[in-house]
């Protein structure tokens, strides 16, 4: 069973500006992912994370005040990865309906791949993080990719809409549609990995089918607005 992290500020105690400090921070988050994958969210402690990372507990507390902040940090890194997958897709696809469809299909498949291949994703239950704007200071964890005035999900939807539209009304309408697709995909895929490390293939088939249907509707609406 997975558990959603509480949406509290990470409140890093030091700013990991130097490359060495940033590497140490991400080593702690790597260790968090490993520990969560092995023992679950409820049994995770800061001591276990520090031990797995080969760091002193004082080093961990330089960055995270408590276990909730560590989990929030890992969830934010996951959200950044989802945004990065979509951004990479946007750079490689063509314009128009075909590119929009390819972007949303890639988002679906990459989300499944990350749940299947990367430790901690199925246990962390980070869907809530996608709907919560970053708090002040949390960009230290993720860099400039995510903004503080939108949730990660809103930013993904906005970036997709920005790529395929030029009119404000059309952009807002497409962003709303893409936001619905991300909710559908993320929640169905998350459910498919509850208690199934490799994912429940039946539920994944449902997720892919629902995603395909939703993408059909989004692209139809996109084309109708373009033709109006």
User: Is 222 inside any structural domain?
Assistant: yes
Question: Would you state the pLDDT for residue 21?
Answer: 78
Tell me the C-alpha distance between 25 and 9, whole Å: 16
User: Is 148 inside any structural domain?
Assistant: yes
Question: Would you state the pLDDT for residue 159?
Answer: 96
Q: Is residue 48 a contact partner of residue 39, using CB atoms and an 8 Å limit?
A: yes
Tell me the C-alpha distance between 141 and 17, whole Å: 10
Residue 145: domain span: 75-227
C-alpha distances in Å from residue 179, one per residue of 32, 82, 98: 29, 13, 18
**How many other C-beta atoms are found inside a 10 Å radius of the C-beta of residue 206?**
15
User: Is 26 inside any structural domain?
Assistant: no
Tell me the C-alpha distance between 82 and 135, whole Å: 18
User: Is 166 inside any structural domain?
Assistant: yes
- Helix/strand/coil percentages in the chain, nearest 5: 70, 0, 30
Q: Is residue 121 a contact partner of residue 115, using CB atoms and an 8 Å limit?
A: yes
User: Is 147 inside any structural domain?
Assistant: yes
Q: pLDDT (tens digit, 0 to 9) for every residue of the chain, 228 residues total?
A: 444 444 555 555 554 446 667 888 889 999 999 999 899 888 999 999 999 999 999 999 998 999 988 998 888 888 888 899 999 999 999 999 999 999 999 999 999 998 888 877 777 766 678 888 887 777 767 777 788 888 899 999 999 999 999 899 999 999 999 999 999 998 999 899 888 888 999 999 999 999 999 999 999 999 999 998
Question: Would you state the pLDDT for residue 139?
Answer: 73
User: Is 46 inside any structural domain?
Assistant: no
Judged by DSSP in three states, 127 sits in helix
Q: Is residue 83 a contact partner of residue 144, using CB atoms and an 8 Å limit?
A: no
User: Is 111 inside any structural domain?
Assistant: yes
Tell me the C-alpha distance between 156 and 186, whole Å: 13
Question: Would you state the pLDDT for residue 220?
Answer: 97
Count how many domains the chain has: 1
User: Is 65 inside any structural domain?
Assistant: no
């Amino acid at each position: 069973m997975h558990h959603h992290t509480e949406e509290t500020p990470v409140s890093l105690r030091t700013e990991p500006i130097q490359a060495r400090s940033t590497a140490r921070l991400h080593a702690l988050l790597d260790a968090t992912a490993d520990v969560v994958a092995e023992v679950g969210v409820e049994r995770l402690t800061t001591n276990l994370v520090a031990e797995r990372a080969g760091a002193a507990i004082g080093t961990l507390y330089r960055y995270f005040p408590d276990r909730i902040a560590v989990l929030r940090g890992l969830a934010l890194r996951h959200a950044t990865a989802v945004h990065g997958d979509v951004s990479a897709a946007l750079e490689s696809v063509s314009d128009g309906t075909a590119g929009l469809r390819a972007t949303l299909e890639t988002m679906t498949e990459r989300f499944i791949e990350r749940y299947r291949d990367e430790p901690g994703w199925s246990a962390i239950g980070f869907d809530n993080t996608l709907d919560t704007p970053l708090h002040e200071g949390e960009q230290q964890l993720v860099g400039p990719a995510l903004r503080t005035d939108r949730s990660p999900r809103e930013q993904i939807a906005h970036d997709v809409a920005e790529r395929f539209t030029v009119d404000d009304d059309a952009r807002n309408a497409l962003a709303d549609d893409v936001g619905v697709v991300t909710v559908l995909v993320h929640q169905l895929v998350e459910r498919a990995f509850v208690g199934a490390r490799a994912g429940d293939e039946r539920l994944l088939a449902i997720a892919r089918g629902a995603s395909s249907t939703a993408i059909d509707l989004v692209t139809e609406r996109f084309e109708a607005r373009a033709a109006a």
